[in-house]
Amino acid sequence: MESLVCVAAWAVTLAMVMASIMWAYRWSHPKAKGQLPPGSFGFPLLGETLQFFAPNPTCNVSPFVKKRLERYGNIFKTSIVGRPVVVSADPDFNYMVFQQEGKLFESWYPDTFTEIFGRDNVGSLHGFIYKYLKTLVLRLYGQENLRAVLLAETDRACRASLHSWAGRPSVELKDGLSTMIFDLTAKKLISYEPSELSESLRKNFVAFIRGLISFPVDIPGTAYHECMQGRKKAMKVLKKMMRERMADPGRQSEDFFDILLEELRREKPVMTEAVALDLMFVLLFASFETTALALTLGVKLLGENPRVLQALTEEHEAIVSNRKDRDAGLSWVEYKSMTFTSQVILEIVRLANIVPGIFRKALQDIEFKGYTIPAGWGVMVCPPAVHLNPEIYEDPLAFNPWRWQDKAEITGGTKHFMAFGGGLRFCVGTDFSKILMATFIHCLVTKYSWRTIKGGNIIRTPGLGFPDGFHVQLLPKN
């Protein structure tokens, strides 16, 4: 009897092992109508998620992507956080992905990203509702409002911040820039004053940012858990603000949030309250974090490249010397005259690669260069692999703004430059970010010099970060 039990137990165990092997094989060798791109799915369920999130201290393409490009070519398959994903460094395929939005591809992010940004975030919306929200946002960040309002407000914010920093032994630049930009944009978006931000909303966004691109384990002590808690607290503030404003129908419109609430009060509103809240959350985040990171890296690069700094300073001092009042605020004509500055900004964002990947989903089986991308699979366009490709950019890791000289103005994403995305979802805040960077650079190089006190090392996880900060001392010019 005992022998029969042992045989039965052994048979059950063997069957479970065989079933597990077969399941693992089917997971790593999915069926497809054509030839899948080369690559590996790694371990079942976990995939290659650990390798994808592994930190690396370089401006170069991440080791995760670089090793696979060398082994498999410009398009390869992998698995990240449980989903099959095709990673692309192919400029032609990337361009097709952006241009075929809504036809062959649609905006998509892994479930963990959706949890962070909200299930009704603008990146998950499609068709009419997305275009409708984009039109609303352009009322804030469009050319007309930039020229009439935001340029002058940005100039005042940069002047005030730099003046306050100049009295300190050192300032941690990334944190200082984040505070400055957040205070500026939060006032436009939700009429928040800096005194209120210090203890509430901005702190929650800082917590959110620490875990934004981190390994998705939601347990206390992890960056991802801190991120999710930051989101919950920030959303609580926004929901409370929405309830108070909706209860006051006679309130005068003062900011962008009021514009959204006016839309919600319509007889047949296009959006829901959840969509409005997630849009405000994304705008508050996107308005300050990406630009602050790019500017921090920009100041670091300028300090390491005296020839670039000299040429940049000469352009801005010429602008000041042509004014009747040397202390006047920056004008639109002056901003549009900054030829070399625009080249510097393009070079900064090319090297910064703030966004390590832009995600889409295949809506149908797609054939490209002999490979099949199955319907439902994720696609990750990899901007760093294009921006740092030596076949496209000579000596790609060099900070060389002159490489943009005599090039046509970039008003949207191209095959070889996608720092602000591309296609239908080209970032609506691009022009505002450029104005912020140009205005800050203008105020900095005309009135101050600086020296590094400590820090400045970078890390990518895979997003850009400064683990030990970037501390500088500002010295007023005579």
pLDDT digits (tens, 9 = 90+) for 315-338: 999 999 999 888 888 999 999 999
Q: In angstroms, how far is the first alpha carbon of the chain from the final one?
A: 98
Q: What's the pLDDT score for residue 29?
A: 55
Three-point CA angle 411, 417, 421, nearest 5°: 70
Position 24 pLDDT exceeds 60 = no
Residue 43 and residue 33: Cα distance in Å, rounded? 24
Cα separation of 265 and 286, whole Å? 26
Q: Name, of 121-130, 226-235, 453-462, the range with top average pLDDT.
A: 453-462
pLDDT of residue 378: 92
Place of tokens 């469009």: 142
pLDDT of 51 reads 86
SS3 99: helix
Q: What pLDDT does residue 21 have? A: 45
> 52-82 as b/e, with b when 16 or more CB fall inside 10 Å?
bbeebeebbbbebbbebbeebebbbbbbbbe
Q: Which residues pair with 379 in a beta bridge?
A: 86, 360
- The mean-pLDDT minimum among 44-53, 126-135, 179-188, 290-299 falls in 126-135
Instruction: Indicate the pLDDT class of residue 82, thresholds 50, 70 and 90.
Output: confident
Helix axes 173-190, 151-165, angle to 10 degrees: 140
pLDDT at 138 over 60: yes
How far apart CA 18 and CA 33 sit, in angstroms, is 26
Q: 142 versus 304: which is more confidently predicted? A: 304
- Going by pLDDT thresholds of 50, 70 and 90, the confidence category of residue 386 is very high
Of residues 15 and 35, more confidence is placed in 35
Average pLDDT over residues 365-384: 93
Domain boundaries, the chain: 41-476
| 455, 147 contact by CB (below 8 A) | no
Mean pLDDT of 288-308: 93
Domain covering 41-476 assigned CATH 3.40.47.10 in the classification = no
Is residue 44 scored above 80 in pLDDT? no
pLDDT at residue 19 in the model: 42
Within 10 angstroms of residue 2's Cβ, the number of other Cβ atoms is 6
CA distance 326 to 248: 45
Answer yes or no: is pLDDT of 12 > 70: no
The pLDDT of residue 167:
83
> Distance (Å, rounded) from C-alpha 338 to C-alpha 319?
9
- Place 421 in a pLDDT band, splitting at 50, 70 and 90: confident
Q: How many Cβ atoms sit within 10 Å of the Cβ of residue 40?
A: 15
Determine whether the annotation assigns residue 382 to a binding site.
Answer: no
Q: Does 80 score more than 60 pLDDT?
A: yes
Is residue 305's pLDDT more than 50? yes
- 3-class SS of residue 60: coil
433 vs 286: CA distance, rounded Å: 10
**What is the rounded average pLDDT for all residues in the chain?**
84
Instruction: Evaluate if residue 444 carries a pLDDT over 50.
Output: yes
- The predicted-structure confidence for 353-366, as pLDDT tens digits, reads as follows 988 888 899 999 99
Q: Would you place residue 130 in the very low, low, confident or very high pLDDT band (cuts 50, 70, 90)?
A: confident
Q: Is the pLDDT of residue 458 over 70?
A: yes
Q: Which of 196-205, 277-286, 368-377 has the highest mean pLDDT?
A: 368-377
Round to whole Å and give the CA distance between 448 and 456.
19
CA distance linking residue 394 with residue 217, whole number of Å: 40
102-115 pLDDT, tens digit each: 899 988 876 666 66
Q: Residue 18 above 50 pLDDT?
A: no
Which span out of 49-58, 308-317, 461-470 was modeled with the highest average pLDDT?
308-317
Arithmetic mean of pLDDT, 223-242: 80
Lowest mean pLDDT among 3-7, 263-267, 402-406: 3-7
133-to-150, 243, 263 alpha-carbon distances in Å = 20, 21, 11
For residue 392, the model assigns a pLDDT of 94
**How confident is the model at residue 425, as a pLDDT?**
77
Mean pLDDT of the 197-220 span: 59
Higher pLDDT among residues 421 and 112, named by residue = 421
Please tell me the predicted confidence (pLDDT) of residue 15.
Answer: 45
pLDDT at residue 467 greater than cutoff 70: yes
pLDDT at position 277 is 85
Q: Within 13 A of 227's CA, how many CA atoms are on the CB side?
A: 21
The residue ranking higher by pLDDT, 48 or 203, is: 48
Residues belonging to the chain: 478
